Structure 1
Amino acid sequence: MDKNLFYTSRNKLGNIWLIPAIMFAVFMGIVIAKKGIAIGFLLLVLPFAAGFMILIFFRPRLGIIGFLIYCFVMPTIGRHIAGLQVGLGMEALLFVTLFAVIFHQSNRFRKRHLNIDLFWVIVAWGIMTILQIGNPERPSILGWVYEMRTLLLYWILTVSLSILLLNKRSDIDLFLNIIILFSFAGALYGMKQLYIGLDDAENTWLENGGKVTHVIFGKLRIFSYYFDAAQFGASQAQLAIMCIILATGPYSFKKKLWYFIAGMFILYGMLISGTRGAMFALIGGGFAFLVLIKQTEILIVGAVVGLTFIGILKYTNIGNGSAEIVRLRSSLDPDDPSLQLRFMNQKRLSDYLSSKPFGAGVGTMGQWGESFNSDKYISHIAPDSLYVKIWGMYGIVGFLTWFGIMLYITGKSAGIIWKTRDPVLKNQLICLCAGSTGILLCSYGNEVLNTMPTSAVVYISWALIWLSPRWDTPVNKADDIALNTPEISDKYEYSNDF
């Protein structure tokens, strides 16, 4: 034997790379032992993160794609690495991407592309949010900062960057592939939790408070790698209806089969989440689909099928052997204790806001209300709904403004879709609009629209709908496309010009 691990046969040091490797391992061990695994993880991924950030300055669109992917995996990273502030990663990706766009060497990204109504209604909401700093109730500025991130910052940055960067027809396909794959994987991971069990980090999360809302009558509500079961269920419902809509589109048989299979798995993920409000994402999305296709016969048939399904849940005991069906059925019970408690909280809130048309201020309800405005009466009223939360923080004036913006975006989206001539593009836009509409309806029961990854999916969906007219089939070519050809999506070439 002429050499060992460290030395050659001539007594010279070999494999010199082992020395820095061992020193690095010792250093990491000391850091993790003293500061916790979160610091060790940050040091480990820092070189890769820095490299990716630099790459974004050369190809800014990677930033918005990376942001979308990160929104899906962020919750489970935070759950498995205690103490890591995973939320800051979203701001880092968005702001680095924004700076990459601003300082990009080319003139490709021009601010005039933001001169559209979708951007300006968000700006109007931003002005109202900023004015809330001067709310007469004098809420904590820190509460405003933390709440503003989800109510405004992510919204305006995601929409703006999507408009500037997702400028190719193929970006809709890329977007749909990413969210479907991660949702499908989420359903599979949820099934793993249900049939195999949770890992140590997930069990620790349950014991530290998650069990209160995620173990109902001894039955675990599956949360997969999302923040919680409510978010998991709502997101799965949104993607399930989107996949089902895509499965009806003018695609090849293989693609339709993939959409159908993915939709069924994701729908099962919704069921095992035990999230009752998620059903309204299905109902809202399904109804939007029936309206957007503008076919009266299908609308009537779909309405009959939907009402029959709701009637079976409400007036029969079919499926009561399944805990998931029982919990879903309780969402239609007007005497449900949880629903009655929500009505009581809304009554308390109504009395409190009777003399406050502009609400109690941003950051006074929910998590940040308890953390930074615990001295306020409103901070002790559970919102249980995005609608109620906005009403409480912004008052009736702010709520009507926000709700009007949501109605405008939904209505304008429908108008764009109805004018779309390309059948493949139209089907994709319908699925985006239906999924977003379902989330808006679902947000009445839970705060899902302002939680990731649902927020990112909805905001990018809106941006793509507004961008879609530039990719549509020209009027003089619309009659040359065979609308009933299943393989049309594979044969027709789209313009990728910005």
Structure 2
Amino acid sequence: MKQFFLSSPIVKHKVIVLLVGILIAVLVSLLTIKFEAIGPLVLVAVCLAIVFTIFVFKNPRNGLITLIFYCFMMFFLGRELPGIPYGIGIEVILILTLFAALFFYAKKDWANCQNDLFKLFLLWFLISFFEVINPAGASINGWFHEIRSVALYPLLIVIIGLVIFRTEKDLNVFLLIIIGLALVSALNGIKQLHIGLSPGDQKFLDDGGAITHIVSGKLRIFSFYDAAQFGASQAQFVIIAITLAFGPFKPWKKIVFLILTLIFFYGMIISGTRGALFVLVVGMFMAIFLSKNFKVLIIGGTIAMVFLAGLKYTNIGNNYYEVYRLRTALDPKDPSLNLRFMNQKILAEYLQSKPFGGGLGVIGVWGKEYNKDKFLSTVEPDSYWVKVWVMYGIVGFVIWFCMMMYLFGKCAGIIWKTKDDKLRVKLIALMSGAAGVFFCSYGNEIINNMPSSIVVCLSLVFIYLSPKMDAAITAKKMKEITV
């Protein structure tokens, strides 16, 4: 009996756990003596990394869902717990999830990558990769940092998304997560306005953020990001929520979506981001267009025109700073707008002899960091479209723009062919939000930053995967009718 007891798998497991616990306790003690507080922290980080790796390899879906949470929250972590390069965390999670997927899924499961969504993102990555030999001679360090957000992240997100996500349940989980995180972002922004800033928020302003986030003595709410990204993201979720509110769902769900629409709209307004208005306008027209409902098209178009006319030709709401700032987006004499046009004119003259641009990382943050000797680093892009044009030249910009137009057109065709009403509305919501973010990126760098980047990429992924979902739903309905 004693022999049996000692050989029991349960006892063996407990003995192993006990030995590991003793070993960790000894290591913590030694590291504390040697390195003080930093030692145990490093050990804890290593242990968490091991646990997370096991978690991801057990099911790569865990890695992708973690990445979505991380992309929404990493700027918050960077402010409240500074000193850690949180941007690298995106690559770590992406690459870890990709390797896990290679082991977890069979060859047939990778067939979803055999489409033009993957091929076009791969093409854009290759073009970006060969920009390292751009004759303009931009810094390799700048190229390395820039390629991550403009080409590497989108490619890896698309690959992993196409392989891991495949059912309507995955789509529902995705919508639940991103809408929930957007709500948390909105509530944090409302807290900043009505309760106050956190220590990390205040430090962000003190370290230079106040230059762009305190205008005319008024704070532009930025939540977990910056004001431009927060406002555009909230506008994207206004489109998603209101589209779902008019979908064929239960009344209580419609009410929830309408409440969320109001919260997201308030979040957009308090951000003071003028470009967010174009997310709303383009997104709304896209949603109405994809619905193929001419009655809704006429009514929705009329409401939108009245709203824009009210902003353009009246002073209603000017006593509220947020409304006044939103109104300036439609003012052709706005100094900020004219400064952007002036910068674009300067860039156009400079780029006449550079059809392939100045190279990745030559303008913007990385331009100031690694290409101080280049003229392009001294001009603010103030737009992702302009940034692509400057870095890749007119040749690269035309390729990128045509690629995005093709993808949006292809997605529209897929949505129009979708038979299931509920699925179609969900796809319209994602597509309309993505289109709004794309066009808003003419005014700010939005589509290349988190969390908009991952939301747009995975929105395209789900639309491309939706024909199989639609077929499965239809087959299930036919089976129920037959039974």
TM-score by length of 1: 0.88
Distance 2:181 2:34 in 1: 35
Distance 1:239 1:431 in 2: 9
Alignment partner, residue 87 of structure 1:
87
Distance 1:19 1:198 in 2: 43
Alignment partner, residue 133 of structure 2:
134
Q: CA deviation at 1:480?
A: 7.1
Confirm or deny that 1:124 pairs with 2:123: yes
Q: CA deviation at 1:169?
A: 1.6
Deviates more, 1:364-373 or 1:21-30: 21-30
Distance 1:351 1:196 in 2: 48
Matches within 5 A, 1:11-410: 24=28, 44-104=44-104, 107=106, 110-226=109-225, 228-410=226-408
Q: Residues 269-298 of structure 1, C-alpha deviation per residue, up to 9 Å, x if partnerless?
A: 111111110111111110100100111121
Distance 1:24 1:474 in 2: 53
- Segments of 5+ residues of structure 2 without an aligned counterpart are 1-20
Letter in 2 for 1:118: L
Whether the aligned pair in 1 keeps the contact of 2:354 and 2:393 (CA below 8 Å) is: yes
Confirm or deny that 1:453 pairs with 2:455: no
Letter in 1 for 2:407: I
Letter in 2 for 1:375: D
Q: Residues 282-326 of structure 1, C-alpha deviation per residue, up to 9 Å, x if partnerless?
A: 111101001001111211111111011001001100001111000
Q: CA deviation at 1:363?
A: 1.0
Matches within 5 A, 1:458-477: 458-473=456-471
Distance 2:229 2:449 in 1: 7
Q: CA deviation at 1:260?
A: 1.2
Distance 1:111 1:422 in 2: 26
Counterparts in 2 of 1:313 and 1:420: CA distance versus 1, 3 Å: same
Letter in 2 for 1:63: G
Q: CA deviation at 1:18?
A: 12
Counterparts in 2 of 1:29 and 1:391: CA distance versus 1, 3 Å: farther
Whether the aligned pair in 1 keeps the contact of 2:238 and 2:265 (CA below 8 Å) is: yes
Q: Secondary structure at the match of 1:136?
A: coil
TM-score by length of 2: 0.90
Distance 2:41 2:118 in 1: 37
Distance 1:159 1:335 in 2: 41
Q: Residues 314-362 of structure 1, C-alpha deviation per residue, up to 9 Å, x if partnerless?
A: 1100001111000100111111110011011001100000111111111
Distance 1:77 1:134 in 2: 35
Distance 1:93 1:475 in 2: 32
Q: Secondary structure at the match of 2:455?
A: helix
Q: Secondary structure at the match of 1:354?
A: helix
Counterparts in 2 of 1:213 and 1:32: CA distance versus 1, 3 Å: farther
Letter in 1 for 2:456: V
Q: CA deviation at 1:124?
A: 1.5
Q: CA deviation at 1:20?
A: 8.4
Tell me the percent identity.
44
Distance 1:23 1:55 in 2: 24
Distance 2:200 2:34 in 1: 22
Q: Secondary structure at the match of 1:198?
A: coil
Q: CA deviation at 1:396?
A: 0.5
Q: Residues 233-272 of structure 1, C-alpha deviation per residue, up to 9 Å, x if partnerless?
A: 1100001110000000111111111111112111111111
Whether the aligned pair in 2 keeps the contact of 1:422 and 1:478 (CA below 8 Å) is: no
Distance 1:197 1:453 in 2: 23
Q: Give the RMSD, CA atoms, in angstroms.
A: 2.5
Whether the aligned pair in 2 keeps the contact of 1:101 and 1:109 (CA below 8 Å) is: no
More helix by share: 2
Letter in 2 for 1:48: L
Alignment partner, residue 427 of structure 1:
425
Counterparts in 2 of 1:397 and 1:284: CA distance versus 1, 3 Å: same
Q: Residues 6-27 of structure 1, C-alpha deviation per residue, up to 9 Å, x if partnerless?
A: xxxxxxxxxxx99987995996
Whether the aligned pair in 2 keeps the contact of 1:143 and 1:372 (CA below 8 Å) is: yes
Counterparts in 2 of 1:293 and 1:26: CA distance versus 1, 3 Å: same
Q: Secondary structure at the match of 1:331?
A: helix
